[in-house]
Structure 1
Amino acid sequence: MPQLDTSTWFTTVLATSITLFVLMQLKISLHNFPQMPTIKLTRYTKTNNPWEMKWTKIYSPLSLPQQ
């Protein structure tokens, strides 16, 4: 049964890693990124809800008087 020759594995793994690194760098360098990001101002508008105009009290069933 022949033995597995592992003498070229280091060279193969190293070459593959370098190739993937270069390809990823080229892919990233082709993107156009904004130079100065701007802050988007949002305006808060308050809505008037009908339940906010009057004071209401919510009774829990356990606090009601016994009948």
Structure 2
Amino acid sequence: MPQLNTSTWLTVILSMMFTLFIIFQLKTMSYQFPSNPQPTCSKQTKQMTPWEKKWTKIYSPLS
């Protein structure tokens, strides 16, 4: 049974990781991020739900 030649695996793995790193860097460089984001105020409208209109009794569990 022949032996598996693993002498080039380190080179292949390191070059793959380096290539993926470069690709990731190039992809993130293409994004345009805002330099100074401003918070926006959004008004929340309160929706009345049927269970908020009436009082309900909450029972504690039996011990």
TM-score (norm 1): 0.62
Q: Are 1:18 and 2:18 matched, yes or no?
A: yes
Which residue of structure 2 lines up, in the alignment, with residue 3 of structure 1? 3
Superposition RMSD in Å = 2.7
Which residue of structure 1 lines up, in the alignment, with residue 40 of structure 2? 40
Query: How many residues of Structure 1 are paired with residues of Structure 2 in the alignment?
Result: 52
Q: Which runs of 5+ in 2 are unaligned?
A: 48-52, 58-63
Identity %: 40
The separation in 2 between residues aligned to 1:36 and 1:22, in whole angstroms, is 27
* The structure with more radius of gyration: 1
Structure 1 residue runs of 4 or more that deviate by more than 4 Å after TM superposition: 44-47
Q: Secondary structure at the match of 1:39?
A: coil
Opposite residue 24 of structure 1, the aligned amino acid is F
Q: Which runs of 5+ in 1 are unaligned?
A: 61-67
Distance 1:44 1:15, change over 3 A: closer
